[in-house]
A and B are shown apart, each in its own frame.
Chain A
Amino acid sequence: MTWFRILRLAVRALLRARLRTLLSVSGMAVGITAVAVLLGLGAGARQALQDTIEKMGRNLLTVNAWMSETNALRGTGRYVNTLVTADSEAVARQLPGIEAVSPVISGTRNLRWGGRTMNATVNGTTPEYRITKNHVVKGGRFIDEEDVCGGRRVAVVGDQIVRELFMGERPIGETLLVGRIPFTIIGVLEGKGTNPLGGNEDDQIVVPVTTAQRRVYNVDYLTRIFVQVASKDLLKSTTEALTDLLRNRHQTVDFKIVDQTALLAVQSENGASFRRMIGGLAGLALGLGGVGLLSVSLLSVRERRTEIGLQLALGARSRHIMVQYLVESLLVALIGGVLGLVMGACGIVMASSWTQWPARLSWDAVWQPFVLSLVIALAFGAYPAWRAARLDPIVALRSK
């Protein structure tokens, strides 16, 4: 009961000194706002990176056909023609921890339909391509084993092709000219947009690897092989195993293995250092809020010395005074914290809708600043409260 009454005293004291309370509350609120916005930006950036990795294919290694070692040394290299479907089959068969493998022969060809024409990437591959690259089929179906075995002239088209060549008309069942070869469209891929590495997968058409090699490009080799491993931890060991396997088969290292996740991580480093800078600023703002709280509280204790002396004379114990002043700091921090969270949430929403920064309102961005504000209140409120509780009642009563 006593503690509840002390809480009431604290509330009344805050209401009595409105301007002072307002000042320390707003100092706190600004700090919390800064931290909330920062956490929102951080969460948004992490989410964006996660989304990108998902879109580009999770835990994906790319084996690119490269130059033979001797050509590379001469610096006059042409890309090799030694990477073949048998390699991709060997990878799928022999390496552990592999989820899916898709061989790809890739190039650019002119597409024609209904009197319109456009250039597009033509990827010859297998049904696993959909898994490795995490494509979603929006309509119709993807290519299947029978399409590959039979060397069928069927194609799945990307979103941009539907928009630019078909002008939004339903393309499934239509016949599309790839170079001079007619293909029947069996499916449409959902659009992915541009990824942060500058890649665009929406302007592709996907056809069976057999058909692409024989009819479109007239070659028997591959451009690259996509290898999806079971987990992130296996990326490194699988890269080594892949290198060993292919070096044995080719008797040279004429390929290059790329880990896209690693590339993205490097890219997001730039963002990270930027966020560290904002982090420093937010910490500074919060620190200033805390110091503001500290000085306002000290001033308040000084101003209310007589009041404290009186409370002691009327039977308050030191800890009653201590608790009252701590509670005052906590209440200021709490109100400032809630205000800061509201302003921070507005800031996050504005940042994500008005700027290109991906910001996201996460649970972390709510509870972390909140807890932080309470910690700051305790840290910066403790000293003034201790000063108040330590006052000598006689000296306190006599001052004025």
Chain B
Amino acid sequence: MIECRGICKSYERPGEPRLDVLKSVDLNIEPGEFTAVVGPSGSGKSTLMNILGLLDRPDSGNYLLGGEPVSNLPHARLASLRNKKIGFVFQQFHLLPRTTALENVELPLVYADTDNISDRAAQALCRVGLQDRMTHTPAELSGGQQQRVAIARALVNDPEIILADEPTGNLDRESGAGIMALFQELNESGRTIIFITHDAALAARAGRVLTMNEGILAEEPAQPVGGVA
């Protein structure tokens, strides 16, 4: 599903030393895997997610998504891949304000060539248990409910991969647990999920844990992650 070889990414700002964010990252993710990425702030987790999610390009290295090399595809093609193959979930939910849950979930379908977008959005909302909240705006929903709307939005175009950047970071423990349960459920029904977290307990619920430290990705934490959250 995902195959990365020697992915490097660095940032240069005038007057500052070059910052190597990713140092030759290798990564294989098989379909149906449930993977957690942990690591301290600034270790390069988000940059890796952005590259996996086709929002950013690596400086060097190869990235094959579903067997297709994607490092040098034109912008329009990348947008189309993001739309069809990847669902994003963000820490801040990123829902459109003063817009109903249904319309928020419809958003990815605006850019997809499909019909019945309302029906499909409604189905996605049912899938996350919000069938009674379709006409509510974000302001009328709890944090957990807002994140569920965002997950429904990530699911609505039936992507193969869901990328979640600290999906429970803005939620209380109970809501966070609910969201994790939902991810687990989605994974059991066959979806590939990669999520970033600071919480070792949450990471432990994933089938596979990767540690990011100063731009180097390693399998399984060398020591239990603690004191970072």
Contact = CB atoms under 8 A, between A and B. Distances in A.
A316 B83 CA distance: 8
A306 interface: yes
Interface stretch (B34-42, B109-117, B174-182, B220-228): B109-117
Given A5-B117, A314-B82, A393-B55, A320 B94 contact: no
Contacts of A121: none
Contacts of B97: 16
A318 interface: yes
A89 B116 CA distance: 87
Interface string A385-400: 0000000011001001
A262 to B, nearest CB: 64
Contact of A315 (B83, B94, B98, B117): B83
| Residue among A315, A320, A393 with the highest chain B CB neighbour number at 10 A | A315
Contact of A306 (B50, B84, B94, B109): B94
A315 B80 contact: yes
B53 interface: yes
Interface string B81-120: 0111000101010101111000100011111110101000
Interface string A1-34: 1100110010010001000000000000000000
Per DSSP, are chain A's interface residues mostly helix, strand or loop, or mixed? helix
Contacts of A16: 96-99
A12 B97 CA distance: 11
A182 B94 CA distance: 99
B56 interface: yes
A298 interface: no
A177 interface: no
| Residue among B55, B108, B110 with the highest chain A CB neighbour number at 10 A | B110
A394 B153 CA distance: 19
A268 interface: no
Interface residues of A, number: 24
Contacts of B82: 312-315
Contact of A310 (B56, B94, B115): B94
B79 A307 contact: no
A397 B103 contact: no
Contacts of A260: none
A317 interface: yes
A68 interface: no
B75 interface: yes
Given A16-B99, A307-B96, A397-B94, A313 B55 contact: yes
Given A2-B111, A16-B97, A315-B111, A397 B79 contact: no
A194 to B, nearest CB: 63
Contacts of B55: 312-313, 393-394, 397
| Residue among B97, B99, B111, B153 with the highest chain A CB neighbour number at 10 A | B111
A238 interface: no
Interface in B58-93: 75-76, 79-80, 82-84, 88, 90, 92
A1 B112 CA distance: 9
5 contacts: A2-B111, A311-B107, A315-B79, A318-B75, A320-B110
Interface of B: 50, 53, 55-56, 75-76, 79-80, 82-84, 88, 90, 92, 94, 96-99, 103, 107-113, 115, 117, 153, 157
Q: Which 4 A-B pairs have the closest CB atoms?
A: A315-B83, A5-B110, A314-B108, A315-B111
Given A2-B110, A16-B99, 12 more contacts: A2-B111, A5-B110, A6-B110, A310-B96, A314-B82, A314-B111, A315-B82, A316-B111, A317-B80, A318-B75, A318-B79, A397-B94
